[in-house]
Structure 1
Amino acid sequence: MEEQVRRLVNKTWEKFQTIPRSRRLLIAISGIPGSGKTTLAAVVAKKLEDLHDRHSPGITNGAPLAAFIPMDGYHLSRSQLDALPDPVTAHARRGAAFTFDGQSFLALVKKLREPLCTETKTLYAPSFDHSVMDPVADDIAIAPSVRIIIFEGNYLSLNKSPWNEAAALMDELWFVEVDFAVARKRLVHRHVKAGIAKDAEEAARRAEENDLVNGREIVDGRLEVQEIIISKDDASWAPEEASSD
């Protein structure tokens, strides 16, 4: 993973040097559940911020340049799932594309595409509180200084509205490719550790009946992407943080 990250960080940094100061560089990383996309996105964002600090010592005043925005915050809340026509199925399939607020995500991307100027205000994205299994509104600040944004989520390269509309606004789409058996193993571990499932059997059932079903849609409906990153079953691809998708 380290070599892939180094290449992607260097490529992104070089591309960033070519864009006007009034513009942000937006990259969306997608992949099936358990692919390691969260791990990759977080590492890339941190290393870009480290590069920024190294190239601008003493003059950044703590203003961040790079941000990592996970799509988890755009899950429909449990109360919103309750209000859907078939709430039982909605809860069982939480993590499927229809259980996300894609329009709100698209609205954020459109705001981030507006030119930066002296009047630009801090924008906010939602996060996801795993202790209560619900989103937290306006929890991730995106300051005007942030000019590189790494988005991460299952459906960010899905050729279905509104995801494809958001994808069209990105500078690059990256896809983390993983063997479904490797993803299943990671998901079982993750679901048990997070308390989403009481044991490995229940976790495996959830992975097969929901996560990997979603994964098939993600793979079959993928848009053309600029980068395909191979996620392998080794220690460098630590399991993603606990997630409900």
Structure 2
Amino acid sequence: MEDQVQRLVDKAWTRFQAVPPDQRLMIAISGIPGSGKTTLSQTVTNALNQKHQSQHPGSKPVAAFCPMDGYHLTREQLSAMPDPVNAHARRGAEFTFDGHAFLALVKALRARSTIYAPSFDHAVKDPKENDIPLRAHHRIVVFEGNYVCLNKEPWREAAGLMDERWFVEVDFAVARSRLVKRHVKAGIAADEIEAGKRADENDLVNGREIVDNKVDIDEVVYSREDAGWKHE
């Protein structure tokens, strides 16, 4: 993992040097559930900030991490759908996200003003509005999520506004093993049997759509079951 990440960090940093002062470098990192895209996104963001600090000691962070989880539809919105039982069961599928709101964020971030993005509160299982500050000094924004590179509107338009589009590839069996552990640990499933059922009937179904319907990708990162990819 280290060699892959270092190369991507170096590439992003080199691209950033050519970005005009009034603009941002925007990177989208996608992959199926359990691929390790969150791990990669946070690692790249931290490495870019460390690189910036080494060259500009005492400066504010130059990079920010922005997951798309805050654009989950609320449980109330899912309950208002024509088939609420299916909507709740399929939470995490593309249709259970507010893609248009995500696109609006991406468009707004082309300006250097401070913007607040929503996060996802796992305690209440709903988005938390205006929880992630993306400030003017955050001139690199790393977006992460299942659908940030999906070849379907409005995600396609958002992906087209990115400077870099990266995709984390993983074996579905590896992703399933990670998802089972995660669902049990988070209390989403009571045991591994229930967690496996959720992975098979929802997460990996979504994963197939993500793999089969992605936009053109600039970089493919391979996630394996090693120490560098313990968690997503």
TM-score, with length taken from structure 1:
0.93
Query: Does residue 106 of structure 1 match 2:98?
Result: no
1:146-190 deviation line (CA, Å, top 9, x unaligned): 100000000111110000010000001000000000000000000
Match in the other structure for 1:186: 178
Match in the other structure for 2:165: 173
**Cα distance in 2 for residues equivalent to 1:64 and 1:56:** 10
Aligned CA-pair RMSD: 0.7
**Cα distance in 1 for residues equivalent to 2:66 and 2:230:** 19
**Which sections of structure 1, spanning at least 5 residues, go unmatched?**
241-245
Query: Does residue 130 of structure 1 match 2:127?
Result: no
**Which sections of structure 2, spanning at least 5 residues, go unmatched?**
none
1:198 to 169, 173, 190: 190
TM-score, with length taken from structure 2:
0.98
2:146 to 142, 150, 154: 154
Alpha-carbon distance, 1:89 to partner = 0.4
Match in the other structure for 2:65: 68
- More helix per residue: 2
4+ residue runs over 4 A deviation: none
Match in the other structure for 2:43: 43
Match in the other structure for 1:243: none
Residues 64 and 143 in structure 1, CA contact (< 8 A), matched pair in contact too: no
**Cα distance in 2 for residues equivalent to 1:152 and 1:201:** 28
Match in the other structure for 1:87: 84
Paired AA for residue 124 in structure 2? V
Alpha-carbon distance, 1:223 to partner = 1.1
**Cα distance in 1 for residues equivalent to 2:190 and 2:124:** 16
**Cα distance in 1 for residues equivalent to 2:119 and 2:230:** 21
Residues 73 and 128 in structure 1, CA contact (< 8 A), matched pair in contact too: yes
